[in-house]
Each structure stands twice: as structure tokens, then as C-alpha cells.
Amino acid sequence: MNKQLKSFQYAWNGIITAIKSERNMQIHLVFVIAVIVCGVIFRISSMEWVACAICFGLVISTELINTAIETIVDMVSPERQPLAGKAKDIAAGAVLVAAVAAAIAGTIIFLPKAIALFGIR
């Protein structure tokens, strides 16, 4: 197998490993699936799909980076240390920022459609 294909295989292995081992990644994927289902039900526009796809990528990517950082920190610093905790907290904060931004985008896209569909006033 050539080097390029091998690198894609390693990347997929990393994604699958994170999905299997990280509860937060599993939660994010449940939300991705829910948004996709809602997008189909509400027939969102192409640009709304683009916004959703960007949000999916942002949240999943930051969760993968967070997982990698936490794994490395745990490996090099198995005992509790303030700087290790700081690194892990900052990485988790990045995921939170991405998730909140995605939730805001989702609210902007889906709330008006839900209000129109269900006649909420």
C-alpha cells in the first residue's frame, strides 16, 4: 500500500478509535445524526446544509484534537499536575466553544422552520 493510502488508513483508524472509546464523541455523533434527520424533514436549503456540514466538521475535529491532547497528557503525566489539568481544560474548552457555535447556528436554521411547521406563536 502506498504512503498516501496508508495515511488515510491511519486517520480513519483514529476516528474509529475515538468513536468507540470516547463518550463525548458518541454524543456528538448522535447530534449529527439528529441534525441530518431534521434537515431532511425540514428540507433545509443547500446553504443551510453547508453551514451544518461546517459545524459538524468543527465540532468533530475539535473533539478529536481534544481526545488526542488528553491522551498525550495522560501518557506523559499520569499523576495529577496543574499544567496537565490546564492543557486538558483548555482543549475541552475548545470543544465547548465549537459546540455552542454549532448550537447557535442550528437554532438559527431550525427554530424558524419548527415555529412555522408547528404554528407556535
Which member of 22, 48, 63, 70 is catalytic? 63
| Cβ pair 24, 63 in contact under 8 A | yes
Q: Assess whether 63 carries a catalytic annotation.
A: yes
Cβ neighbours for 91, distance < 8 A, ≥ 6 positions apart: 65, 66, 69, 70
- The Cα 90–Cα 100 span in angstroms is 15
Active site residues: 63
